[in-house]
Amino acid sequence: MSKNINVALIGNPNTGKTSVFNQLTGLKQKVGNYPGITVEKKEGICKLPRGVKAHILDLPGTYSLNTTSLDESLVVELLLNKNDKDYPDVAVVISDVENLKRNLLLFTQIKDLKIPTILVINMADRMSRKGISLDVEAMEKKLDTKIALVSTRKRTGIERVKELIADYKSISSKPVLDPTRISPEYFDRLKKTFPQEDLYKLWLVITQDVNFMPIEKKRIQDATDFSTKSKDELKKLQHKETVLRYQLINNILKETYKVDFMAAKGLRASMDKILTHKVFGYLIFFVILLTIFQAIFDWSGYPMDFIDEQFAMASEWVKNTLPAGLFTDLLAEGIIAGIGGIVIFIPQIAFLFLFISLLEESGYMSRVVFLMDRLMRPFGLSGKSVVPLISGNACAIPAIMATRTIENWKERLITILVTPFTTCSARLPVYLILIALVIPEGSFLGLSYQALTLMLLYMIGFGMALLSAMALNKILKIKSRSVFMIEMPTYRLPLLKNVVYTVIEKTKSFVLGAGKIILAISIVLWFLGSNGYSDDFENAESIVTERIEKQGLSIYSKNYIQNNVASYRESVEAEDLEPSILKDSVQVLTEQLSERAVAQEIASYKLEHSYIGQAGKAFEPIVKPLGYDWKIGIAVLTSFAAREVFVGTLATIYSVGSDEEETIKNRMAAELDESGKPLFNLASGISLMLFYAFAMQCMSTLAIVKRETNSWKWPMIQLGFMSVFAYIIALIAYQILI
């Protein structure tokens, strides 16, 4: 039985590398981090001919082996370290048929490492439309390799790639360029000093900032006078290498690659003029955002209601089916209620990632990045800061890691500090349920108030990020200068399979990541809400019963009974019942509702005097000026672990001791303040939304900021400022609107 083949999938950004990876591996893939480094690592398994399996590693996109970021360094480190368990038996370089010249620079560098290297030319279906003709056989001879023409859109050529991988031992590993041509004298001394080492690998060790090398850079410098070469001199030699490679590539393409420029003309230039226009570009982007937020509310309403009802029914079924006791209460009131508080938002989270994926796959997102560069320059941010800020709408953690592409430290630090202001997907569950509770369902010019509110929250977060960046740019006395460049990929119809993979992967990652935290917190909250030490907790039933006998039911219970009786009367109006029968049935219903109300008041009293109730009451004076009660205060505290825990916490608290088959949204809508008015009103709802728009509320983000800045100073400043600012803004909003 043959061992698995290690395959490194390498390529420039926007060459369709992810599409090739998805078609090779299907769903047999996983996403993690490189050991000790918070950079995403994608790997999968591909079945090859003759029963052989390939372990495929999708490496970060890179333009060459001359690294400028940590992501690119990882590629070089792997390709130079034969002791790494993922060291490739064969490298597969993905190129774009329209940008073949630039892509071949990376291909020739990898091939010169004497690794069997396959060239995959992607997007072959665009050749006829772009007037491109290619002599594959001649190119294979010139490059001394094997080539596969692939169209991931039409699903052609993938089998050819699998065959070439399986037959990798027959592929030549002969270098394309003689490295001594870069500097004969320099490389001659290098060869004499290290006669057993490969010259091109030595060259990369000397010039690149890499860590996991079998040859130590210090040993090279100690054994030679190479250290006398300044960085500028080494840069000049790197530029000479690039020139030599492009001369070689140009000669090969002259004989094998032809373009009919008349046939290549298309709509791209015209579309770019419109989509990146200094006025219309912003308007189009604004309309696209409005459409996305409108769709998030309209399309996800039905599945959300269904999920909410199913979890409520599941909780009730557990209570009615399993024997009464500690385990049943934990399952019904703790685990099911807590997880239900986050699962309900799967449809909206999935739709958000769906639209983001469509924008990225179509090539439009790069235009947005280019467009927003104009907006961000006056605020002291690099154009490269746009990528983290936009990706922060999904999650701040990978967004902060994406700042590694920013070479200038000041711009990178500012971007790290302001990125958490952008509205991540973890805020979405909080926004959505609060908007549904306090914003009416009307519309303006065909757009619902709820969708407009959600978009306004996104704009507030982005606006605060820019204002903070401008302030930090003036406060931080660090000189900086940078140039922004971005590649504009060709427009293309999104591949359905890629979009589906992305939505499933991102949604699963969000739900599982949040689910672990919520499950743990739900169990703790259930325990704290189901137990207490005071006499009030132990004697809750007798205390509440005595109070009801003297003062009657609470306002909440009375409203609950009246509303249900009114609904019952409306439902039986068409049946034309006799007055006596109607009176008797209403009487029976009222008695049943009264018994349920008494039980609910006892449960609420016990909860208020439980461990969590006592803690909430102690914390309540701090949050009361914002319009929150102790229950919301507890949810705010626990959501520091992760913002989305807010909803799960309330779902657990409201479910403790509840015997009703009622959804979390209905329970929140029914909550009353001390004056008998709805607790979640416009003032408290806006206050909460603004608090979460500006507060940090995420331990994981703080940990990443610490790691990226290598200091606790910046995350602590970040936490302190964002928390105080969020509190002040929420306080002002509530006091104005109340």
429-486 pLDDT tens trace? 788 888 988 888 888 777 788 888 988 998 899 899 999 999 998 888 766 555 555 6
Phi (first) and psi of residue 30, to 5 degrees: -145, 155
Q: What's at 365, amino acid-wise?
A: M
Distance of CA 689 to the CA centre of its chain: 21
Q: Which residues pair with 58 in a beta bridge?
A: 9, 42
Q: Is 12 annotated as a binding residue?
A: yes
Q: Is 446 annotated as a binding residue?
A: no
Q: Is 17 annotated as a binding residue?
A: yes
Q: Is 13 annotated as a binding residue?
A: yes
Residues in the chain: 738
Q: What's at 157, amino acid-wise?
A: G
Q: What is the pLDDT, as a whole number, of residue 412? A: 84
Burial class (CB in 10 A: 0-12, 13-18, 19+), 279: exposed
Tens-digit pLDDT profile for residues 250-296: 999 999 998 865 554 556 677 888 888 888 888 888 888 778 777 77
Q: Is 473 annotated as a binding residue?
A: no
Q: How far apart are CA 545 and CA 209, in angstroms?
A: 74
Please tell me the least confidently modeled range out of 32-46, 338-352, 638-652.
32-46
Q: How far apart are CA 416 and CA 468, in angstroms?
A: 11
Is the pLDDT at 393 greater than 90? The verdict is: no
Q: What's at 329, amino acid-wise?
A: D
| Per-residue tokens: 667 | 């329970």
Q: How far apart are CA 408 and CA 262, in angstroms?
A: 41
Q: Is 729 annotated as a binding residue?
A: no
Phi (first) and psi of residue 609, to 5 degrees: -105, 15
Q: Residue 275 domain-assigned? A: no
Q: Is 123 annotated as a binding residue?
A: yes
90-96 and 117-122 beta bridge pairing: parallel
Q: What is the pLDDT, as a whole number, of residue 226? A: 47
8 A C-beta contact, residue 382 and residue 411: yes
Q: What is the pLDDT, as a whole number, of residue 23? A: 87
Q: Is 485 annotated as a binding residue?
A: no
Q: How far apart are CA 635 and CA 649, in angstroms?
A: 5
| Per-residue tokens: 122 | 């992607």
Q: What is the pLDDT, as a whole number, of residue 210? A: 59
Q: What is the pLDDT, as a whole number, of residue 38? A: 38
Q: What is the pLDDT, as a whole number, of residue 212? A: 44
Q: Residue 421 domain-assigned? A: no
Q: How far apart are CA 572 and CA 202, in angstroms?
A: 87
CB atoms within 10 A of CB 442: 8
Q: Is 14 annotated as a binding residue?
A: yes
Nearest to 461 by CA among 366, 400, 393, 411: 393
Burial class (CB in 10 A: 0-12, 13-18, 19+), 527: middle
8 A C-beta contact, residue 120 and residue 93: yes
Burial class (CB in 10 A: 0-12, 13-18, 19+), 489: buried
Q: Mean pLDDT over residues 316-342, rounded? A: 79
Residues 6+ apart with CB under 8 A from 590: 561, 565
Q: Is 125 annotated as a binding residue?
A: yes
Q: What is the pLDDT, as a whole number, of residue 33? A: 39
Sheet containing 146-149, strands listed edge to edge, beginning at the edge strand earlier in sequence = 29-33, 40-47, 53-58, 5-11, 90-96, 117-122, 146-149
Q: Residue 126 domain-assigned? A: yes
Q: Is 122 annotated as a binding residue?
A: yes
Q: What is the pLDDT, as a whole number, of residue 514? A: 60
Which has more pLDDT, 502 or 48? 48
Distance of CA 489 to the CA centre of its chain: 22
Which has more pLDDT, 643 or 627? 627
**What's the domain count of the chain?**
1
Report the range out of 133-142, 181-190, 259-268, 297-306 with the highest average pLDDT.
Answer: 133-142
Q: Is 697 left (phi over 0), alpha (psi -120 to 50) or beta?
A: left
Q: How far apart are CA 137 and CA 146, in angstroms?
A: 9
Q: Is 4 annotated as a binding residue?
A: no
Q: What's at 509, amino acid-wise?
A: S
Please give the model's pTM, rounded to 2 decimal places: 0.59
Q: Mean pLDDT over residues 396-418, rounded? A: 78
Phi (first) and psi of residue 307, to 5 degrees: -65, -45
Q: What's at 309, amino acid-wise?
A: E
| Per-residue tokens: 47 | 């079945």
Q: What is the pLDDT, as a whole number, of residue 426? A: 75
8 A C-beta contact, residue 124 and residue 97: yes
CATH number at residue 15: 3.40.50.300
Q: How far apart are CA 49 and CA 78, in angstroms?
A: 26
Tens-digit pLDDT profile for residues 488-533: 677 778 878 778 887 887 777 767 766 676 677 777 777 887 888 8
Q: Is 26 annotated as a binding residue?
A: yes
Report the range out of 330-344, 534-548, 656-670 with the highest average pLDDT.
Answer: 534-548
Any idea what the Cα angle at residue 257 is, between residues 139 and 152, rounded to 5°? 80
8 A C-beta contact, residue 122 and residue 96: yes
Which has more pLDDT, 201 or 49? 201
Q: Is 16 annotated as a binding residue?
A: yes
Residues 6+ apart with CB under 8 A from 433: 647, 664, 665, 668
Q: Residue 730 domain-assigned? A: no
40-47 and 29-33 beta bridge pairing: antiparallel
Report the range out of 436-440, 611-615, 718-722 with the highest average pLDDT.
Answer: 718-722
Q: Residue 69 domain-assigned? A: yes
Is the pLDDT at 339 greater than 80? The verdict is: no
Indicate the angle between helix axes 427-438 and 682-694, nearest 10 degrees: 170
8 A C-beta contact, residue 255 and residue 138: yes
Report the range out of 122-126, 368-372, 689-693 with the highest average pLDDT.
Answer: 689-693
Q: Residue 87 domain-assigned? A: yes
Cα dihedral 549, 554, 557, 561 sign: positive
Distance of CA 115 to the CA centre of its chain: 34
Is the pLDDT at 66 greater than 70? The verdict is: yes
Q: Mean pLDDT over residues 89-102, rounded? A: 91
Q: What is the pLDDT, as a whole number, of residue 37? A: 37
Nearest to 705 by CA among 475, 420, 471, 425: 420
| Per-residue tokens: 487 | 């590649």
Average pLDDT score over the chain: 80
Using pLDDT thresholds of 50, 70 and 90, give the confidence band for residue 104.
very high
What DSSP state is assigned to residue 197? S
Q: What's at 395, amino acid-wise?
A: C
Q: Is 58 annotated as a binding residue?
A: yes
Task: Show the domain range for 26.
Answer: 5-178+255-262
Q: Is 15 annotated as a binding residue?
A: yes
Q: Residue 381 domain-assigned? A: no
Q: Which residues pair with 54 in a beta bridge?
A: 5, 46
**Distances from the Cα of 530 to the Cαs of 316, 329, 658, in angstroms?**
17, 9, 11
Tens-digit pLDDT profile for residues 198-229: 888 888 888 876 554 444 544 554 444 444 56
